[in-house]
Every structure is written in C-alpha cells, then in structure tokens.
Amino acid sequence: MLRVVADRPNPYRRMPARSRTSAAADPSSARGKLQMRFRMRITDGGTIAVGPGKIALLEAVEHNGSITAAAKSLDMSYRRAWLLLDELNRSLRQPAVESAKGGPRGGGCELTEMGRELVTLYRRIEQQATDACRDDIRKLMSMLAR
C-alpha cells in the first residue's frame, strides 16, 4: 500500500525553490515564520491518485531528467519514485512520464504533454485556492500569537 505523502515532514521542503509555486510559498522553515500551505489530493478509493507527493515528483523528473536524479533530489528511493510514477501513469488516461530512449539523454525520463498539463493544472489549483481564501487565511493567521 503506497502512501504518497507523509503530511509531515513535507517533501516540498526538499524541492528546489524554482519548482515551487508561490502557493507553496517559502521553502525556509525557520522558526517563527508563519507559512500557509494548501494541499489538494484526489483519491480513488484507497489510493491517492493525484497529490502533492506525485506532483513534486513530476516536477523533479522534469527538472532532473531522470528518475534516479529526481528520487535523489527528493531524498526518496529509486524504487519508491518508480512505483509512484508507475501508479500515476496507470491512473491517468495517458502516461505522465515516459522513458527517453536514445539520444544523448538515453535512459532518462521526461514528462509527456499530459504530465506537464497535470503539473500546471495542479499548481494553478493551489494558487487559485490561496487567492480565493486570502482574507480568511489572513484572519486565521491573525488569531495566532506572534
């Protein structure tokens, strides 16, 4: 049974800054700085079909060009990364990643159009959610003792 994301510690903390949206805000985890994080998951029965873990992995694949490097950047085993991508590929109408055969990057892995669309859509949803709730989030944050 694959748990995609441990809620805490958070895989995003290990992601390069540029692969994070403003919705995911600041990668620093310095004490004393309030950060809001919206996370969306789509579950299919017992499985998290789409969630922050798989999206972060797709972004890492896109950035690194291989599952090995992507897994390493997320401090994840190759096996786990492979299983997550395989599960994701099978849950979508079309695969999100494909092996890059031949050429100088032979043996690598890259996002398909479907994969890129998925990432874009997911990050846009997070941003929309954050924008829509800005006032209430500010209100909630103001309830915290600083």
Q: Which residues of the shown chain bind a second copy in the complex (CB under 8 A)?
A: 7-8, 29-46, 48-51, 90-93, 114, 117-118, 121-122, 124-125, 128-133, 136-137, 139-141, 143-145
CA distance 81 to 57: 7
Considering the complex, state which of residue 47 and residue 68 has its C-beta at the smaller distance from a second copy: 47
Nearer to a second copy, 17 or 136 (CB): 136
For residue 144, the minimal CB distance to a second copy (Å) is 6
Q: Quote the CA–CA distance of 43 and 26 in Å, as a whole number.
A: 27
Residue 112: which region, alpha, beta or left (left: phi > 0; alpha: psi -120 to 50)?
A: beta
What is the number of other CB atoms lying within 10 angstroms of the CB of residue 3? 10
Closest separation between CB of residue 98 and a second copy, Å?
16
Q: Is 122 exposed, middle or buried (0-12, 13-18, 19+ CB in 10 A)?
A: buried
Nearer to a second copy, 68 or 110 (CB): 110
The answer to whether the CB of 76 falls within 8 A of the CB of 66 is no
CB of 38 to a second copy, least distance (A): 5
- By beta-carbon proximity to a second copy, the closer residue of 86 and 107 is 86
